[in-house]
Chains A and B, each alone.
Chain A
Amino acid sequence: MRATVGLILLAVIGVGVGISLLAIPFGAPKTEIGDYYIENAREDTGATNVVTSVVVGYRAFDTLGEVTVLFVAALGLGAVLATAGGKRGRSGVEPASLILSAGNIFLFPLILLFGAYIFTHGHLTPGGGFQGGAVIASAFLLVYLSSPGKRINESGASLTESVSGLVFVAIGLLGLTHGTHYFLANFLPKGALNTLFSAGIIPVIYCAIGLKVGSELAGVVDNLMEETE
């Protein structure tokens, strides 16, 4: 009964969506704003990666909101799990195999380095703070899988997270006092294209986002791992 109603509903939605999709040709240029960004992003922001200049340049305020959404989700997860009977150790967990624990010793610093590379080069190559942060969190996930007794330093993680969040907001407020006087205005020199120290505030903000997302997702992993008993 439920399945039939569901299928009928899906058929109705499918026909509606299909009719409207016929008006959107695949593979053709659609938005003028996209062309504007591609034409002008290099001069406006100094970043060669146009996606980055949209995320942290033109739409940086929007990104601040999205970082806040991520923070609230991580906070909610901590609040939901913390009330579930207090925190417990993971004493009953089986120790990991030799391959995993030995591989972790070599891989952990390399994964951290790779994550840092991704978010510091976000304005030049594919990547950025969100991706680099996710890579860093995966390094902590590897630690949790390989050595069940270990835990991350929770106060250190929340300190990193708050400081990098504050750096993002502080840079935005500094933009108010310089040049064109708007929130998150680019007040640092733009430098030469395709060099590491270019694009003004974009690499700084992306480093802050990378550390923030990394510590937040590591905290999420920590909260979920505590409950595995």
Chain B
Amino acid sequence: MSFLHDYVYYIGAFGLVAIGLLIILVKRNLIKLIIGLSILDTGVNMFLISVGYIRRGTAPIFSRPGLEPDGMVDPVPQALVLTAIVIGVAILALALALAVRFYKTYGTLDLRKAKELRW
């Protein structure tokens, strides 16, 4: 039980990564692939944030006088994830645009049915 208590955030984050990877490996519909990519992205972000967490830590913001530097969570992973989220949105939009082009060229979103892509 204490194992679960200690690692529940890691398990959750890598659960999301595993779900995303499985979708990417198994599904053939482009939209579903993009959804899988997005879930994977969320899992990685969650993992980074939970690595930086310190037990009973507060947000690293000195918003009022008298806050002590001890017991604040690690700001570096938060700073990394902050930009990663916005870039994730942009990459998602780019992937969707490519899916639109794919549909216009092949008339389908199924990767198996796009004949020219076979190898």
Contacts and interface: CB of A to CB of B under 8 A. Distances in A.
Interface string A14-37: 100110010011111111011101
Interface string B12-41: 001000100110011000000000000000
Given A26-B7, A73-B87, A84 B74 contact: no
Query: Interface majority SS on B: helix, strand, loop or mixed?
Result: helix
Interface residues of B, number: 46
Interface stretch (A42-50, A98-106, A145-153, A161-169): A42-50
A21 B61 contact: no
Contacts of A113: none
Interface residues of A, number: 65
Nearest to A27: B55
Given A51-B60, A80-B101, A223-B97, A26 B75 contact: no
A17 B14 contact: yes
20 contacts: A6-B26, A9-B25, A25-B6, A26-B9, A27-B55, A30-B52, A37-B60, A37-B75, A49-B60, A51-B61, A54-B75, A69-B87, A70-B90, A76-B97, A77-B97, A83-B101, A124-B63, A126-B59, A128-B82, A193-B62
Given A6-B21, A26-B53, 13 more contacts: A2-B25, A13-B18, A26-B10, A33-B76, A38-B60, A38-B72, A48-B62, A51-B79, A55-B82, A80-B98, A84-B100, A130-B85, A223-B97
